Structure formats: structure tokens, C-alpha cells
């Protein structure tokens, strides 16, 4: 697109001529004056097309006699008039966007979209012979303004055609589950790389910023069935999550109880072993004393046993092994408990 500043030179020249004719209406103007006015008008006409402005997001492509001479940065610039140099302004500082499967009708806080008449663009066949309804965008930036303008006739249409081919190729190599759910981000990244590689072969001077799936749905005719399947998958995942949560809660608890029981059993075993060792050591010590004086040891053991057993008895009867009757009862316990002497 060529940017000429100062209005149309032909209109300006015609305006000056009309003013001159009105001024000298009915008179014959001097030839010298006519020559001067024509020269001034030609100078004004040349100067009017010699300055141009490049915006902050733009890059100027300067051509001289149709041959590329360089780029013009943002700001006010001078160029040779009378068609010697021409300038094309390209928005290299702006990220461009192409929409597929939908169109933005009214951008803003509440953006309005439309899908009317775009089914052929959005419906895509997956690798497992299912149909998916895709809405995606391609964002790109012009990296080389000269290549973008002159290396290809219609760069915008080329980008759209190549992007659509790359998406259909990637989706055609994937199954419907990957496209609709799990692999969307990875699929979009792969499409972006493939699209950039193809555009590089065209040497179009474009850098792909991102490829993003805005919305992916099954076709309207099967959307209800797909939603039921999706709900079932979500319910399955929820049940699996609940089972894992229960597992993570119960297994450590059971493991702790098992370890506690094992420690208690080990403690009990150690206690019984130590008790048995103590009893063994005591028996051996008693046996050693017994082997030294068997009679005395037997009597001591007998007396110690009686001292332990007799206090537990309520009544004590002493029998005379030589006589037939029982000895009189000596009520020591009753006297002691009753306080009698």
C-alpha cells in the first residue's frame, strides 16, 4: 500500500489554475506571470509527494524506479518526487490474527462471534474416522516487509491455506479423544512448527507466534452422545480418585497398626525371655545353695512357702501325725482381728 502525503497533486494544480483564471477573467495575463505560476505549482506538486510518515508499528519499503533500495523506520521521511521513489507501509510491529471455523463480528468486552456458513472450514476428519468441529486461530508477525510484499502474490490467503492444511494433516493423524481432550496443546504446538517450516520454504517473511485451538467439539448431531461419554469418563476418573484417596488413607493406617502390633509382640517376647532367664538364674542359684546343704535348703524353702501360703487361709487345722484326733484350733486370726488377747 502506497502512502502519498499532502493530498492529490492533480486536484491542487487544478485549484490553483481556477483561482488564476478567476483573477484574470476577461484579461490576458502576462506570459511571464503564467510561467512563474506554472513553475511554482509544479514545485508545490513535487514537494507535496516528497514527504511521508511511517507509523510506530510500521516499516516502510522504499522502491526507486521499482527496485528495492531499503527500509524506512518510524518517523517523517523524504523521498524523491514525481514517481521516482515509492513507499509501501507494512505493519511489522503488530501481531496479525487469522480465524478459522468462526469469525469475530464485534470485538470488545462482550465479543460477538459467528459460525454461520463455516462448516466446511471447521469440520475435520480425525485418524480414527471421526469428525470434530474445530475453531482455531493463527497469530503471526511480519518479519521481513519486503518478502511479505513481493515474494508472494497474496500472503494472507497463502497463510490461511497452509494453516488449514497443517491442521487437517495433524488432526488426521490423531484420534478423536486426543483432539477433543488430552492432546490439544501438544497438537497445536506441533501444527505451529509444521506451519512455520512450510512458510519458510515459501520465503514469505512471516514468523508464526502461536497456533491455538479456541474450541473443539463433536458435530451437533453426535454432541449429546459425546457429552454422555465424557460425563462417564469424568465419573470414572472421580471414582478412581476417590479409591486412591481411600487407599492412601487406609494403607498407611493399617501399616501403622501392623508395625505397632509387631513392636508389642517383640516387646512381649523380650519380656518373657528376660523373665525366663531370671527364673532360670534364680533356680540355678537356689540349686547351687541346695547342693551345698540339701536339708537346710529344703527346710528354708518349706518355711518360705508356708510364710507365703498361710496368711491367705481363713482357718488353720494342725493334725498330729501320731495321734488320731485333731489338735485344738488355735484361733489366732480371730483374736487378732477382734482385738482379743
Among candidates 174, 202, 204, which has minimal Cα distance to 190?
174
**Are the C-beta atoms of 141 and 94 separated by less than 8 Å?**
yes
Query: Phi first, then psi: what are they for 263, rounded to 5°?
Result: -65, -40
In terms of residues, how long is the chain?
Answer: 341
Q: Quick one: which of 166, 179, 173, 177 has its CA closest to 138?
A: 166
Contact status, residue 211 vs residue 138, Cβ threshold 8 Å: yes
The dihedrals phi and psi of 333, each to the nearest 5 degrees, come to -70, -45
Q: Could you read off the pLDDT tens digit of each residue along the chain, which spans 341 residues?
A: 444 444 455 565 566 666 655 665 555 556 666 677 666 666 666 666 678 889 999 999 999 998 999 999 998 888 887 778 889 999 999 999 999 999 888 877 787 888 888 888 888 888 888 888 889 999 999 999 999 999 988 999 999 999 999 999 999 998 877 787 768 888 999 999 999 999 999 999 999 999 999 888 877 777 777 778 778 888 998 999 999 999 999 999 999 999 999 999 999 999 999 999 998 988 888 788 778 888 887 888 888 888 888 888 777 666 666 655 555 555 555 554 444 44
Q: Which residues contact 118 (CB under 8 A, 6 or more apart)?
A: 101, 102, 103
pTM of the model: 0.56
Give 177: exposed, middle or buried? Use CB within 10 Å, 0-12, 13-18, 19+.
middle
- Is the CB of residue 120 less than 8 Å from the CB of residue 99? no
Question: Which pLDDT belongs to residue 6?
Answer: 42
What is the pLDDT at residue 340?
Answer: 44
Amino acid at each position: 500500500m502506497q502512502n502519498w502525503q499532502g493530498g492529490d497533486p492533480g486536484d491542487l494544480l487544478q485549484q490553483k489554475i481556477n483561482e488564476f483564471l478567476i483573477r484574470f477573467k476577461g484579461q490576458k495575463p502576462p506570459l511571464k506571470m503564467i510561467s512563474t505560476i506554472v513553475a511554482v505549482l509544479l514545485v508545490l506538486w513535487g514537494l507535496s509527494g516528497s514527504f511521508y510518515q511511517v507509523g510506530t508499528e510500521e516499516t516502510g519499503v522504499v522502491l526507486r524506479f521499482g527496485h528495492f533500495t531499503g527500509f524506512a523506520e518510524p518517523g517523517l521521511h523524504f523521498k524523491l518526487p514525481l514517481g521516482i521513489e515509492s513507499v509501501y507501509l507494512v505493519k511489522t510491529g503488530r501481531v496479525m490474527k487469522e480465524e478459522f471455523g468462526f469469525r469475530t463480528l464485534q470485538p470488545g468486552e462482550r465479543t460477538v462471534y459467528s459460525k454461520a456458513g463455516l462448516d466446511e472450514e471447521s469440520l475435520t476428519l480425525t485418524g480414527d474416522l471421526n469428525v470434530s468441529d474445530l475453531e482455531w486461530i493463527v497469530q503471526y508477525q511480519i518479519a521481513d516487509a519486503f518478502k511479505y510484499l513481493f515474494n508472494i502474490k497474496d500472503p494472507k490467503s497463502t497463510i490461511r491455506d497452509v494453516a488449514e492444511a497443517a491442521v487437517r494433516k495433524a488432526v488426521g493423524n490423531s484420534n478423536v479423544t486426543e483432539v477433543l481432550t488430552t492432546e490439544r496443546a501438544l497438537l497445536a504446538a506441533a501444527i505451529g512448527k509444521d506451519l512455520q517450516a512450510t512458510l519458510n520454504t515459501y520465503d514469505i517473511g512471516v514468523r508464526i507466534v502461536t497456533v491455538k485451538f479456541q474450541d473443539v467439539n463433536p458435530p451437533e448431531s453426535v454432541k449429546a452422545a459425546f457429552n454422555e461419554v465424557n460425563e462417564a469418563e469424568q465419573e470414572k476418573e472421580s471414582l478412581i480418585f476417590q479409591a486412591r484417596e481411600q487407599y492412601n488413607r487406609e494403607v498407611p493406617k493399617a501399616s501403622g497398626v501392623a508395625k505397632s502390633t509387631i513392636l508389642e509382640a517383640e516387646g512381649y517376647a523380650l519380656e518373657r525371655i528376660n523373665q525366663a532367664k531370671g527364673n532360670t538364674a534364680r533356680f540355678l542359684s537356689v540349686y547351687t545353695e541346695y547342693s551345698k546343704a540339701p536339708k537346710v535348703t529344703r527346710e528354708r524353702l518349706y518355711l518360705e512357702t508356708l510364710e507365703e501360703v498361710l496368711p491367705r487361709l481363713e482357718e488353720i487345722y494342725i493334725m498330729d501325725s501320731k495321734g488320731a484326733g485333731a489338735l485344738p484350733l488355735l484361733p489366732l486370726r480371730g483374736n487378732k482381728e477382734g482385738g482379743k488377747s
